[in-house]
Structure 1
Amino acid sequence: MSTKFYALFIMGCFLPFILVAQSHFVFQEQNVAPGTHQQFKIKVSDGVDSTFIPVSVFHGSKPGPVLGITAGVHGYEYAPILAAQQIARQIDPATLSDTVILVHLANVPSFLGRSPYVNPLDEKNLNRVFPGKADGSLTEQMAYQITQEVIARSDYFLDMHSGDAPEDLRPYVGYYSSERFPKASQKGEAMARALGFDHIVVFDVAAERIDEPSLYCSQEAFHRQIPSADIECGSLGAVQTQDVQPIVDGVINLLRHLEMMAGEAASLNSPIFIRERPSVISPQDGIFYPLKTSGEYVSEGMKVGYITDFFGENPVDVFANASGIILYIIGTPPINKGETLLRIGLIASSGTKK
């Protein structure tokens, strides 16, 4: 065998391995080597106030997809934030396929300020300003950084939430679906099934809605044709093991489903799908007395609570406006006119329309 032929033979044997060799993952102008992870703090400032976004990047030793995950878009929703800490400890980049970009806490000002729904520094809801603005308010800049650094770089995207301070919430997952993006919709449904929650909400997006600002974190991903899902697990701003562990288990199973982590993914064959979620709106300010809890089934016209004035008098009854399951209901006394008192999930026959 000639030396030239031998060299070509050796190159032919090793070329497939050379072609699939994993390269560095560049994040915030830093190289994350294959099989390693790094922690970052993305700095955000509007010239008056400043904050940061803590992110862990796990770059696997093998090629594969990039999964973006956000927790703490609402800083008073604690279960996903604590779940993110556990998820980070269970990801081994040495055996991971490609990359997980994990935002531990998207809204640090809301978290430290114990502020439901909004960033107390500018009173804006981070989950209503996506894709954000590079030169906007602090919250808009936070959304912009998450959009550019995490969402835009992901092949799949997961946003993790729970019931905020006043919300008694039943656990479920959701995914985005639109006739405009059938492949992303079908992959989103597969993500939702892999997350392992028995109730799945389908966020149907009208074709024309795709051309408008996304507003929501995971919807921004879907607008970019990235399969997107949400977790909703946890209630009333509290932290319970029974809320944290299903989130952790669901994400690990999702990583197996995406073939990013070793192990066989569990399959949820018969989830309950929900396509419509009518809201019951408060007719007045006052004190709310719920008579039902999340997860209960109600019939249209059923009394679900009542509102009194601030003297505890003149009660006004509140009735269900549809038949279905209560996904969440206000579980604390204060209520303002025009606020959502509860949201009812209407049971559907299937998920994504094929």
Structure 2
Amino acid sequence: MNSPISYLKTIVVFLFISCSTITIAQNINFEFAKHSLKPGSKTEILLPVETETDSTVIPVTIFNGTKKGPVLGIVAGVHGTEFVPILAAQQLARDIDPKNLSGTIILVHIANVEGFLNRSFRVNPIDQKNLNRVFPGSKNGSMTERIAWTISNTIIPNCDYYIDVHAGDYNNDLRAYAGYYNYFDKPVVSKLAKDIAVAMGFPFVVQFGNEPSLKNKAVYTSREAFIQNIPAIDIECGRKGIVEEKFVIRIKQALWNVMGYLDMVDQTPPKNEEPVMIGQRTTISSPETGFFYSDFTSGDYVKKGMKLGYITDLFGNHVTDIKCPVDGMILYKTFNPPIKKGDGLFNIGHIN
């Protein structure tokens, strides 16, 4: 029979182990942009970005969960008129409960606020630059370069995983897919990104890079994350610059799937069919300026040599046919008539 002292020691040891377990499971304050955010909190922050003559903000919501877990960065609105991701971010911000969250979510509602408010196609109207072509940006550059610099230095380094969410813009008919950066000299980061992309549940997953190493500068926001050794994933969902609720819902579901996969929320991701992996893409550019016509749509399967459309001059006279150079599937295409020489007409994913 145990003595009262032995029994008391057992209770003390049990309480010590229990308290240690609770301590390990609990989250801590999250430090972000001079803010110290408590566990279980939701905090809305306007990150200022200024030049000598102009100023803007980046609206960010931080959800710091009550339990420890990874930091997930989600960015919408790099292109201000890709409205579906922006609305998905707004709705997601209402649905996430930090008290039921493990880890932390950094949610950028709109990276390019001026592009959004001014309905500016693809570029920031302040300096006419495309935010997704200037990363990692410059601390002393133009407005768009400073936005990129702020994201590269304030948001991305705080993340364990990074998701950039896009859609088809005003001229772009797009087939929804997930994508991730894959370079052979970074197998661990690439594999982690692949697992996240697959967990999203899209039927197609595009591999960006698929090369021995990344030798060029970032240019794109998610590639900047990859350069910083953070698994980088893209979502492309939505088309033609319009808001269709089914695509808003699809983006939100993909992000919830990721949170479930990372054990950030008590949600088991659905078991989806294995996606089709697209390791190579071909872009078809316009050889002429004028009117572009095509009856094909995104998601159509095409064959090498097939006529995909044609171009006329400004009078409507036929100039040239557009032939398909490879077998594959149309990931996205220009769907309206205006076209300039060198503009992209189709992006075709190679399907074996």
Gaps of 5+ in 2: none
> Which TM-score applies when normalising by structure 2?
0.94
Shifted more, 13-22 versus 138-147: the winner is 13-22
The code of the aligned residue for 2:248 comes to: V
Aligned partner of 2:21 in structure 1 is 16
The alpha carbon displacement at 1:151 in A equals: 1.0
**Equivalents in 2 of 1:325, 1:13: separation in Å?**
55
Contact 1:193–1:267 (CA under 8 A) maintained in structure 2: no
Which residue of 205, 210, 216 maps to 1:212? 216
**Equivalents in 2 of 1:285, 1:328: separation in Å?**
20
Contact 1:78–1:237 (CA under 8 A) maintained in structure 2: yes
**Equivalents in 2 of 1:13, 1:327: separation in Å?**
53
Aligned partner of 1:288 in structure 2 is 292
Write out per-residue CA displacement over residues 53-111 of structure 1, whole angstroms, 9 at most, x where no aligned residue.
00000000000000000000011111100011111122110010010000000001111
Aligned partner of 2:314 in structure 1 is 310
Aligned partner of 1:114 in structure 2 is 119
Which residue of 106, 128, 150 maps to 1:145? 150
Contact 2:210–2:279 (CA under 8 A) maintained in structure 1: no
**Equivalents in 1 of 2:64, 2:294: separation in Å?**
47
The alpha carbon displacement at 1:12 in A equals: 4.7
**Equivalents in 1 of 2:70, 2:91: separation in Å?**
21
Aligned partner of 1:75 in structure 2 is 80
**1:250 and 2:263 equivalent?**
no
Quickly say closer, same or farther: Cα 1:96–1:13, change in 2 above 3 A: closer
Contact 2:183–2:213 (CA under 8 A) maintained in structure 1: no
**Equivalents in 2 of 1:75, 1:130: separation in Å?**
16
**Equivalents in 1 of 2:12, 2:141: separation in Å?**
57
Aligned partner of 1:340 in structure 2 is 344
Write out per-residue CA displacement over residues 215-269 of structure 1, whole angstroms, 9 at most, x where no aligned residue.
1111111112211111101111011012111101110111000100111111323
The code of the aligned residue for 1:16 comes to: T
Aligned partner of 1:91 in structure 2 is 96
> Which TM-score applies when normalising by structure 1?
0.94
**Equivalents in 2 of 1:15, 1:171: separation in Å?**
45
Write out per-residue CA displacement over residues 246-303 of structure 1, whole angstroms, 9 at most, x where no aligned residue.
1011101110001001111113232111111101110111011122111111111111
Which residue of 226, 229, 234 maps to 2:230? 226
Aligned partner of 2:162 in structure 1 is 157
**Equivalents in 1 of 2:11, 2:233: separation in Å?**
49
**Equivalents in 1 of 2:325, 2:310: separation in Å?**
14
**1:103 and 2:140 equivalent?**
no
The alpha carbon displacement at 1:18 in A equals: 2.7
Shifted more, 82-91 versus 55-64: the winner is 82-91
Write out per-residue CA displacement over residues 35-62 of structure 1, whole angstroms, 9 at most, x where no aligned residue.
1110010110111121100000000000
Give 3-state SS (helix, strand or coil) of 2:90's partner: helix
**1:327 and 2:331 equivalent?**
yes
**Equivalents in 2 of 1:314, 1:347: separation in Å?**
31
Contact 1:71–1:105 (CA under 8 A) maintained in structure 2: yes
The code of the aligned residue for 2:256 comes to: I
Shifted more, 99-108 versus 20-29: the winner is 20-29
Contact 1:281–1:339 (CA under 8 A) maintained in structure 2: yes
The alpha carbon displacement at 1:5 in A equals: 6.6
Aligned partner of 1:60 in structure 2 is 65
Aligned partner of 1:299 in structure 2 is 303
Write out per-residue CA displacement over residues 127-152 of structure 1, whole angstroms, 9 at most, x where no aligned residue.
11111111111101101111122111
Percent identity over paired residues: 43
Aligned partner of 2:203 in structure 1 is 198
Aligned partner of 2:50 in structure 1 is 45
Gaps of 5+ in 1: 349-354
**Equivalents in 1 of 2:275, 2:117: separation in Å?**
36
Q: Matched residue pairs, number?
A: 346
Quickly say closer, same or farther: Cα 1:267–1:148, change in 2 above 3 A: farther
The alpha carbon displacement at 1:121 in A equals: 0.9
**Equivalents in 1 of 2:331, 2:10: separation in Å?**
67
Give 3-state SS (helix, strand or coil) of 1:150's partner: helix
* Cα RMSD for the two superposed structures: 1.7
The code of the aligned residue for 1:268 comes to: N
Give 3-state SS (helix, strand or coil) of 1:315's partner: strand
The code of the aligned residue for 1:58 comes to: F
**Equivalents in 2 of 1:284, 1:105: separation in Å?**
35
Aligned partner of 1:351 in structure 2 is none
**Equivalents in 2 of 1:15, 1:302: separation in Å?**
66
